[in-house]
Structure 1
Amino acid sequence: MTGLDIRELECFLVLAEELHFGRTGERLYVSQSRVSQLIAALERGIGARLVERTSRRVRLTPLGERFLAELRPAYEELTSTVERARAAARGVEGTLRIGFQGTADARLMRAIAEFQERHPACVTEIVEIPFADPFGAVRHGDVDAAIVLLPVAEPELVLGPVFSRERQTVAVSVRHAFAGRESVTAAELKETPLIAATAPAPAYWRAAHAPSDVPAPAVRTLQEGLTLVAAGRGAMLLCRPTADYHGRKDVTFVPVDGVPESVLGMVWHRDGRTARVREFARVLAGAGRG
């Protein structure tokens, strides 16, 4: 990067987020004047203005916006490369906290065992996260990464390996009209009360897992949902492994035709891509193909 200083690039990336010279300086532990100096030096190296600053606001120029879009992934890859080299030099150590939603299935457990075998100096903790809050534990830093049901559209989260594509089933009471059927259709589900997760699960996520036009109760946990199913208060959409794991005598599971498969994915915060997280993602991707 002839003529460019990595500190200038870091300063630009932070300023693009904060759009405030003072807050940028606080995050970088430098003075506001130093932020101005770094941005000015970067602009001289580029040969054009990247930032417009008035007494009222700071914003990126059109060139600054394009530069940001190309710089951010390149910078993240650069920092990842450095971190991978550091990890290779010292080995993966510390504690990796993995959250799981619903059921820690065989693929996840196989990946954890393989990761632990490869990196005995890293302790792996497994934490169940609430059905009704699939992304909160990652967002708040309670876990380093989580295995969650897709979709995920949170801007601060990164979606890693995607795996465990399974046919969906609908859980119904043994007294329900669907009980004993070989399958039901997506159209029939639209007219069936489907129990969904409560907030803080995002609305788009709740809609994906309860694609119905009929009002139904909302629950915080799978067990709450299955209890309401058994009581005839509604039905619940579940993947086949989860249905098998949570089987009970008063609930039956009927395959559904015409709905997308259930898919699991590993997510982590975009500011939390440690060597431990990246290495586990690689192991999990391999386990998912197994």
Structure 2
Amino acid sequence: MLNNPGMERQDIEVFLTLAEELHFARTAERLRLAPASISQTIRKLERRFGAPLFTRTTRRVDLTPLGRQLLDDLGPAYARVQAAIERAVTAGRGETGELRLGYMSAAVARRVLTLIDAVRGHVPGIQVNIIETALADLYGPLRRAEVDLSVLPLPVAEPDLTVGPVLLSETALLAVSTTHPLARRAPVTTDDLAEQTFLFAQGLPEYWVEHHLPTTRSTARVTTLPGFQEMLAYAASGHGVALVGAQVEQLYPRPNLTCLPIEGGPTFDYALVWRTDDLSPPAATFLHHAQTHRT
């Protein structure tokens, strides 16, 4: 019936609304049409079907048996069509759907979960799944489309990735063994760090390493390890020093590890990042609310 060229969408809306209101003037008001237009549409439909759909008197409008049959057949079908259209519009606006959000540290996870709760309060139709990613595979999950957005430590200078709002800034500390000569110094200065062996995860871009080195690249030695836990283990055993976030001692405590402030107060800044040519509607909606609710 919905595809019948003799019954257009407005015809259907007029019939269904009049069947509910049983009053021509109220139907015209609801549909914002002239009363004469309602009467003309109903007459056109009755000519199409070859029989009256409504009985009219000066006091009352009622459905005829044919009108009741048409209502019973057409009403549910039209409701399903309208619901399908609404779902498509909502999905297109990014108000429904699944969002896979990557994060790579427990400190970031706290901020991410708070943000997810705030976004869900405004857009409950988005389902957000968080996925932990590895420091040694910083951009891999995004590039393999395993996540739609990822919270990554800056800088990110990749031509296929776009950087969005910063969600968290965390003071950078120097993780050293409790027996290390620097362990009793606070804050640690740039001069103190000359000739130290700095521990970084494997696979990090050279520009990222240079950005976070608190001393010049020419005076620092860099050792790369499989991941973050290995960095902490090596630092705790006195085989180098590692740059870590301020919450490491609380979140990853080790008996032989201490974290020292660094003169100048460097930070780790974490921002939302996505594939430049592939931002889904749910991801775009999440980004919008992330910018609104960032602290």
Q: Is 2:115 the partner of 1:111?
A: yes
Match of 2:241 among 232, 235, 240: 235
Query: In terms of mean alpha carbon deviation, does 274-283 or 140-149 score higher?
Result: 274-283
Equivalent positions of 1:126-145 (< 5 A) are 126-145=130-149
Residues 24-53 of structure 1, C-alpha deviations (whole Å, 9 max, x = no match): xxxxxxxxxxxxxxxxxxxxxxxxxxxxxx
Shift of 1:157: 0.7
Give yes or no for contact 1:179–1:254 (8 Å, CA) kept in 2: yes
User: Map of 1:126-205 to 2, 5 A cutoff?
Assistant: 126-199=130-203, 201-205=204-208
Going from structure 1 to structure 2, the CA distance change for 1:111 and 1:126 (only over 3 Å counts) comes to: same
- After superposition, the CA RMSD in angstroms is 2.2
Deviation at 1:95, TM superposition (A): 1.1
Alignment map for 1:271-290 (pairs within 5 Å): 271-289=277-295
> Where do 5+ consecutive residues of structure 2 fail to align?
1-87
Q: SS of 2:135's equivalent? A: coil
Distance in structure 2 (CA, Å) of the matches to 1:102 and 1:246: 10
Matching residue's letter, 1:174:
T
1:167–1:256 contact (8 Å) kept in structure 2: no
Give the CA deviation at 1:249: 1.7
For 2:67, the equivalent position in structure 1 comes to none
Partner of 1:43: none
Q: Any idea what the Cα deviations from partners look like across 1:87-131, whole Å, max 9, x if unmatched? A: 587662221001112223432210012223333322211111111
Residue 204 and residue 87 in structure 1: after superposition, are their counterparts in 2 closer, same or farther (change >3 A)? farther
Cα offset, 1:135, TM superposition? 1.3
Sequence identity of aligned pairs in percent?
30
**How far off is 1:251 after superposition?**
0.4
1:249 aligns with 2:288: no
Mean CA deviation greater in 206-215 or 183-192:
206-215
1:243 Cα shift? 4.3
Counterpart of 1:241, as a letter, is: Q
**Amino acid across the alignment from 1:205:** W
Contact 1:217 1:233 in 2 (8 A): no
Measure how far apart 1:86 and its partner are.
Answer: 4.7
Deviation of residue 180 (structure 1)? 2.9
| Cα 1:91/1:218, change in 2 over 3 Å | closer
Partner deviation per Cα, 1:254-283 (whole Å, 9 max, x = no partner)? 011136321111100011212211221222
Deviations 1:227-262, CA, capped at 9 Å, x for gaps: 111111101001212443222221000011136321
- SS of the residue corresponding to residue 136 of structure 2 reads coil
TM-score (normalised: structure 1): 0.64
